[in-house]
């Protein structure tokens, strides 16, 4: 049985939530392996909308095990709020179907405070973070001063770790002219939340290894998108973790051989939230129309997304960096009625044609898209569940995307509803 990793192949917001939910029906275990509660997944099931940030999308399906892996930075208060919210919608969440890696680092209130202080200090040069403390939490992890889930079980260790952590953070806060954090108060907050979090904690890498050896199907759920990867994205306008397929193994405690199939989620046009380069961005009525029809607002932040034409250069780069076997093409219906579509097939930089996005920030800002025009379609694709329901013109657009990015379409999504999908081949079995 194949184990599948689902990866955003643009700047995030590609519609991963629905695809993961759809695939989770075929999986036994669903794993989050990076990011924090800055990642928003929206699921629409039988007319009910679920908005989740930390919880793996599999929790809405009975009988599935969901795991938050060691690669995630965990805000325990945000997680508990999310459990309560989703629970109020009739989803049963308990330690029987949700497990948290005991070696996952925690996001503390001071991380969010520092995140927002930095953005404020950057002024017009701000990166566009969500202000939820994701970056500072990853910094503490790498600097070996993070508080981890397991530390909540040992009060004497917790006191020492908090003291060490505050030596660093209070110095930063003084520099920003912000109030310092009192260690005893922070320890009290952690001791209060510990009894609600610890029942979910455990040795998840071993649990996953046991599941894999037993022939269980595992679905690894990525957050954000490849172009927000800390190494391979549009640095410094990126998130603070590795969002690529290779992180699924490290962020869950598995070897690289545990991943059999990489499914890239690709929107039929391009969007991004926040600052940073965006070669195909549209500032006209077409761009605004895509945003309105696609309801392009961030699940977590509510911020309007920037919209533009499909960028085959970026997606082709993502296919190579992730080792993508096939893509799920989403929001095809948003292009219904657009008379002429454009696809970016290359970039022009200082008069030279290039086939990739350069790493240099200055060069990224200078690239100009080279477009190919494609005939649009007037027929509605919304809700289509078979190729026969798509016009020849629509299929031609899909086939051209496949050619340009060097990967086949495995699935098509034609609305937010779970069943409005066209399955070309099943990543778990084909």
Catalytic residue among 13, 21, 151, 333, which?
A: 13
Residues contacting 369, CB < 8 A, separation 6+:
279, 280, 309, 311, 313, 344, 347, 348
How many beta carbons lie within 10 A of that of residue 186, not counting itself?
20
Q: Which two tokens stand for residue 343?
A: 């696809």
Strands (E) located in 72-173 = 98-101
Helix axes of 109-122 and 134-142: crossing angle, nearest 10 degrees: 110
Which residue out of 41, 111, 169, 325 is catalytically annotated?
A: 41
129/118 Cα distance (integer angstroms): 10
Contact 116, 301 (CB under 8 A): no
> What is the distance between the alpha carbons of residues 56 and 130, in angstroms, rounded to a whole number?
20
Name the CA radius of gyration of the chain, rounded. 22
- Per the annotation, the verdict on 13 as an active-site residue is yes
For β-strands 340-349 and 352-354, DSSP reports them as antiparallel
User: Active site includes 46?
Assistant: no
DSSP state of 35: B
Q: Compute how many other C-beta atoms are within 10 angstroms of the C-beta atom of residue 19.
A: 24
Sheet of 201-202: strand order equals 201-202, 98-101, 65-68, 29-32, 218-221, 4-8, 261-267, 326-330, 409-413, 421-423
Count of CB atoms situated within 10 Å of the CB of 81: 14
d(CA 128, CA 300): 13
**Catalytic site residues?**
13, 41
């Amino acid at each position: 049985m194949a184990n599948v990793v689902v990866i955003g192949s643009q700047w995030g917001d590609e519609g991963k939530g629905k695809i993961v939910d759809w695939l989770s029906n075929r999986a036994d275990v669903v794993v989050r392996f990076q990011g924090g509660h800055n990642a928003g997944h929206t699921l629409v099931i039988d007319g009910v909308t679920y908005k989740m940030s930390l919880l793996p999308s599999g929790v809405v399906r009975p009988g599935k095990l969901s795991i938050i892996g060691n690669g995630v930075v965990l805000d325990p208060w945000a997680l508990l709020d999310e459990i309560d919210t989703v629970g109020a919608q009739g989803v049963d969440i308990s330690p029987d179907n949700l497990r948290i890696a005991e070696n996952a680092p925690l996001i503390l209130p001071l991380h969010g405070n520092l995140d927002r202080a930095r953005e404020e200090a950057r002024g017009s040069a701000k990166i566009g973070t969500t202000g939820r403390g994701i970056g500072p939490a990853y910094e503490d992890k790498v600097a070996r001063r993070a508080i981890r889930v397991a530390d909540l079980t040992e009060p004497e260790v917790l006191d020492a770790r908090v003291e060490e952590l505050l030596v660093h953070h209070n110095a930063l806060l003084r520099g920003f002219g912000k109030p310092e954090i009192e260690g005893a108060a922070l320890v009290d907050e952690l001791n209060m939340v510990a009894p609600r979090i610890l029942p979910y904690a455990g040795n998840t890498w071993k649990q996953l290894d046991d599941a894999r050896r037993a022939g269980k199907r595992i679905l690894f759920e990525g957050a954000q998108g490849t172009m927000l990867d800390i190494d391979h994205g549009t640095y410094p306008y990126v998130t603070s973790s590795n969002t690529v397929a290779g992180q699924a193994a490290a962020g869950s405690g598995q070897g690289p051989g545990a991943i059999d199939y990489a499914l890239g989620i690709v929107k039929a046009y391009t969007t991004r939230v926040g600052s940073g380069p965006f070669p195909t961005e549209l500032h006209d009525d077409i761009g605004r129309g895509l945003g309105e029809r696609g309801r392009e607002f961030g699940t977590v932040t509510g911020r309007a997304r920037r919209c533009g034409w499909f960028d085959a250069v970026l997606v082709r780069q993502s296919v190579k960096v992730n080792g993508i076997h096939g893509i799920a093409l989403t929001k095809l219906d948003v292009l219904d009625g657009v008379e002429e579509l454009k696809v970016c097939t290359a970039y022009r930089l200082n008069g030279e044609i290039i086939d990739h996005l350069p790493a240099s920030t200055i060069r990224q800002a200078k690239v100009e898209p080279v477009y190919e025009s494609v005939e649009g379609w007037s027929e509605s694709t919304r809700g289509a569940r078979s190729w026969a329901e798509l016009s020849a013109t629509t299929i031609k657009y899909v086939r051209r995307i496949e050619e340009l990015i060097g990967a086949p379409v495995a699935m098509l999504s034609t609305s937010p509803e779970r069943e409005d999908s066209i399955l070309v081949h099943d990543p778990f079995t084909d």
